[in-house]
Amino acid sequence: MASLLCQKTMTLTLVSTFLVALFGVLYCEAELERFEHGAKPDGSLSFLVIGDWGRRGDYNQSDVALQMGIIGEKLDIDFIISTGDNFYDKGLTGVDDPAFHESFSDVYTAPSLQKQWYIVLGNHDYRGNVEAQLSPILTEKDSRWLCLRNFILNAGPEMAEFIFVDTTPFVDKYFTDPEDQVYDWRGISPRKHYLKNVLEEVESALRESTAKWKIVVGHHTIKSASTHGNTYELNVHLLPILEAYGVDLYINGHDHCLEHISSNSSPIQFLTSGGGSKAWRGDINWWNPQEMKFYYDGQGFMSVQMTQTELDVIFYDVFGNVLHKWSTSKQLFSVM
């Protein structure tokens, strides 16, 4: 009997080991899903960026949406990027939550905004039913909706590559000190393996990219002078990868402001577009004035226009006024 029990135990152990190994292989080999979005016939591309917006039109969300529609038509935008915190305060309760229509479909109604939305999750989205936001059922309800944890967007023939990163699971305090909030961590566990896989896939995508412009989008800040400030975990784990592979822009939300930081220690431009609804008036911490190119503690959004050689960023307030412009250029062909 003892021998039989021993054999069964060994068999179960071997099966368990095999399943763990198989899971690990499958996990590591998972690649980020890729999407394609063509440029205009002249080879240019334009899009808007909005973050921290989902409040059923309140806190000037509807006013920001109105101006987005006007600017979107003027620039003939190709798509919209959302930097997360899509539904306050606690995400969606499910795919039938009326907040989806009340905060998204019924707010961004302008003809120019009836384009594809590429969307990442924010920390407030994790306080609700994350699987609902990721569900294709929402895309059936509104075809503009495309939300995944991590994915890649290739825009134009090798012109721009966007890597969308799910930053919330990187932040330790949501796990160690959740402030009486309940987070939906389905699909994240085991966290260590999830983060390792994300970083490996981001690095692999950047290393293999031949795009002229490399842009990374996440919810959390890497550098910011507002309430949340720098996100330590992203500075430690993600930033070195972005710098090593020549990322041009890191675009985020999380802090409810509009912001442009150009660090002396990094070639990356750090752009915050988190003014989609409720803003934090007067909430700014000291920052090196040589690095702080722009800060606005009100509502608004951002536009980006690009070609193979030129890139222009503009920030707008809730009235559609231009607050800040920044441009850069690259040679069409690299100098040998």
Distance CA 161, CA 155 (A): 6
Q: Is 96 annotated as a binding residue?
A: no
Q: Is 254 annotated as a binding residue?
A: yes
- Do 127 and 89 meet the contact criterion of CB atoms below 8 Å apart? yes
- Catalytic residue among 124, 220, 228, 260, which? 228
Does the active-site annotation cover 220?
Answer: no
Q: Is 250 annotated as a binding residue?
A: no
- Do 70 and 303 meet the contact criterion of CB atoms below 8 Å apart? no
Angle ∠(228,264,172) on CA atoms, nearest 5: 30
- Do 241 and 202 meet the contact criterion of CB atoms below 8 Å apart? yes
Per the structure block, which two tokens stand in for 179? 């402030």
Q: Is 123 annotated as a binding residue?
A: yes
Q: Is 256 annotated as a binding residue?
A: yes
For residue 157, say if its preceding peptide bond is cis, omega within 30 degrees of 0. no
Per the structure block, which two tokens stand in for 2? 């003892």
Angle ∠(60,63,68) on CA atoms, nearest 5: 125
Q: Is 52 annotated as a binding residue?
A: yes
Rg (CA), the chain: 21
Question: Annotated active-site positions, please?
Answer: 228
Enumerate the known binding-site residues for Fe cation. 52, 85, 88, 123, 219, 254, 256
